[in-house]
Structure 1
Amino acid sequence: MITTKGLTKVYQSRGRDVTALDGVDLHVREGEVFGVIGRSGAGKSSLIRCVNLLERPTSGTVTVDGTDLTALAGRGSRAGKELRQARSRIGMVFQHFNLLSSRSVKDNIELPLEILGVTGAERSRRALELLDLVGLADKAKAYPGQLSGGQKQRVGIARALAGKPKVLLSDEATSALDPETTRSILQLLRDLNRQLGLTVLLITHEMDVVKSVCDSAALMERGRVVESGTVSELLATPGSELARELFPVTGDATGPDRTVIDVTFHGDTATQPVISQLSRTYNIDISILGAAMDTVAGRQIGRMRIELPGRYEDNVVPVGFLREQGLQIEHVEPDPAPGEPGGPGSPGDVPAPRPELVKETAQ
């Protein structure tokens, strides 16, 4: 449903070029909720604004529902009309709601339909239908100033759906909301995804958002996508940084000649007593150094860091037992000791320079 290829966006700042997007390739399948996550300055907001061409990419292509939007970005009335038509099939939800305070809730939802030239009676019918869909049927005559933050965002979502889009873009739509309201808005987005067959691309810096509603995710750093895939695939990928961020576990070996491994549970294995079986089968003492478990897309998934006695080479059979149970196993290498190559105090222990963060605009 959404494909970007080689997407690049370069801004001019104080007479020099600042690259916000650096050759981004992204593939969002029809009907899924896809989350793009990363720290401030990673390029997330620039990406989503380029997807609907609120920002014109410096290079690369953006294709939505089979239409190459970048090919419609030329000058001229015909190109402009075609681009507006293509954009009407893409809804956008903003972080700060962007509602018109002088208009009622119903009139705010009708606004994009006015721009599309829809008749008054049809606009009114559609607006009331959408208010019912987002749970605000009794707020049609209210004004934004009379609503809570969560209610304002529901109006923003209803407005984004006014043109019956196939794609819904969400730019940090829950970051200004409290945790309980965030959960209700995320549940609404998931419900709309299922009821309307919407493809949802959401930008966030919160891992809990990805856990709650996303089928797939991409991790962005310094304007690039460094990891991408379904959440279950990423959790099963050894060394996945996104998996570590989703389910962080910590803990170092408690002594010499100890083996530390990270074990990823998903599906049926999440409810099986695998670790106790391992201990009984091989008569070994196992230390649990840390664990994290949650429900992702309706499936219980978790990670656990455990310690086994002996070196890794001595634990090939117990580790093999865990793999036979369908678990993902990752060996955690011990940190170098002080003075050793790569360790604290070693000749090569020089902090890397911190890259300059790209300030993303959200106007």
Structure 2
Amino acid sequence: MPAHDFSPVPGHTHARVLDSDGNPVITTTGLTKVYRSRGREVTALDGVDLHVREGEVYGVIGQSGAGKSSLIRCVNLLERPTAGTVTVAGQDLTALAGRGQRAGKELRQARSRIGMVFQHFNLLSTRTVRDNVELPLEILGKSGKERSRKALELLELVGLADQAGAYPAQLSGGQKQRVGIARALAGDPKVLLSDEATSALDPETTRSILQLLRDLNRQLGLTVLLITHEMDVVKSVCDSAALMENGRIVESGTVSELLGTPGSELASALFPVGGAATGEDRTVIDVTFQGEAATRPVISQLSRTYNIDISILGAAIDTVGGLQVGRMRIELPGRYEDNVVPVGFLREQGLQIDIVGEPQLAKEGAK
């Protein structure tokens, strides 16, 4: 697919909507990255448009090779894009000279306001915890007294004040990542980038690190862009999310918006439900509940109102961003044309309804 073709991928939901509640602090437009090696070209990013609003936690999810790491490295110009632009806090970084370690002065200054947390911590083994946190401040030319004060404040913030004199080898994986987060905050950034920050950690430690990122997001007003291949990460902390495939964003939006989008791959992955029809004369429906609707006995009301037997084939319920969300797959007796009225009843309750298999009559009824 050519890099200038930004149309949605057929068969996918393209749900990028920037609402009016927040200004975009990270924007990429037509972002393309092509790697060339030994006469071959590999397109890692293929015209990516991304909008991350101020103060939100935005997750980019996808399988290995989807382009996630290239995206986040292009956002802070560790990698220079082949084409397209990157704007952070109103500044076009792609207009500044240099890249990576050879960045010009203006780009270095811009990148000092963008924190970066890495998957494998990237701590210096010969430096103490406090010295690791001080490193960015040292590069910025801060005095020893100022560096020490700031490092201790940050270690207190991430819960490691008592480990200031320890060395990385003496720490657990979760503690090392907390040091990495403290170091990323040394320059008082407004944007924090997280490159698979929890993928090397056990589930319990992952939860504590994600909670820390959410707390920092709220306490410091940080805008957090994180990449991950773990759906639970999106479910736990993200306000918005995007799905990447083959270097393109094929679906994006707020989590609540995605959960209310018919056919959303991300919604289905966040709350997977299974179960197939027990016969040809059956209608299988996926019902998505959000907020108060998740606690109402809607299915039992449906059964009583229309005197029909309903089979529950699968269900999942959880809390996303403080909002209770659930999905349920149910089976109704009869074909879809026999269940137009019961399905309409469910839609009238404010529920998202997806007809499994989507017969033509169902598509027309949803319009």
TM-score normalised by the chain length of structure 1: 0.90
2-structure distance, mates of 1:12, 1:81: 27
User: Offset at 1:13?
Assistant: 3.1
Match of 2:337 in 1: 313
Match of 1:44 in 2: 68
Match of 1:204 in 2: 228
What secondary structure does 1:56 align onto? Answer: coil
User: Offset at 1:79?
Assistant: 7.7
Q: Does 1:4 align with 2:55?
A: no
2-structure distance, mates of 1:74, 1:13: 21
- The partner residue of 2:47 within 23, 43, 63 is 23
2-structure distance, mates of 1:95, 1:64: 22
**Structure 1 stretches lacking a partner, 5+ long:** 336-363
Match of 1:71 in 2: 95
CA contact (8 A) 2:98 2:107 kept: no
- The partner residue of 1:256 within 275, 280, 292 is 280
**C-alpha deviations, 1:290-331, integer Å up to 9, x for none?**
111111001110111100011111111100110111100011
User: Offset at 1:250?
Assistant: 1.1
Aligned length: 333
What secondary structure does 2:318 align onto? Answer: strand
- The partner residue of 2:141 within 117, 130, 138 is 117
Match of 1:146 in 2: 170
User: Offset at 1:74?
Assistant: 5.1
TM-score normalised by the chain length of structure 2: 0.89
- The partner residue of 1:233 within 257, 275, 284 is 257
Q: Name the amino acid aligned to 1:309.
A: P
Structure 1 residue ranges (4+ consecutive) displaced by more than 4 angstroms after TM superposition: none
1-structure distance, mates of 2:179, 2:59: 22
User: Offset at 1:334?
Assistant: 7.7
From the superposition, tell whether residues 123 and 204 of structure 1 become closer, same or farther in structure 2 (CA, over 3 Å). same
Q: How does 1:171-186 map to 2 (within 5 A)?
A: 171-186=195-210
1-structure distance, mates of 2:161, 2:151: 10
1-structure distance, mates of 2:103, 2:265: 41
2-structure distance, mates of 1:104, 1:61: 38
Match of 2:351 in 1: 327
Q: RMSD over aligned Cα, in angstroms?
A: 1.3
**C-alpha deviations, 1:183-233, integer Å up to 9, x for none?**
000000000000000000000000000000000000000000000100000
Match of 2:21 in 1: none
From the superposition, tell whether residues 5 and 298 of structure 1 become closer, same or farther in structure 2 (CA, over 3 Å). same
User: Offset at 1:12?
Assistant: 1.4
Q: Name the amino acid aligned to 2:77.
A: L
Q: Does 1:91 align with 2:118?
A: no
1-structure distance, mates of 2:44, 2:134: 34
Q: Name the amino acid aligned to 2:80.
A: R
1-structure distance, mates of 2:32, 2:253: 21
1-structure distance, mates of 2:358, 2:280: 10
Match of 1:273 in 2: 297
What secondary structure does 2:276 align onto? Answer: coil
Match of 1:218 in 2: 242
**C-alpha deviations, 1:15-39, integer Å up to 9, x for none?**
2100000000000000000000000
CA contact (8 A) 1:253 1:334 kept: no
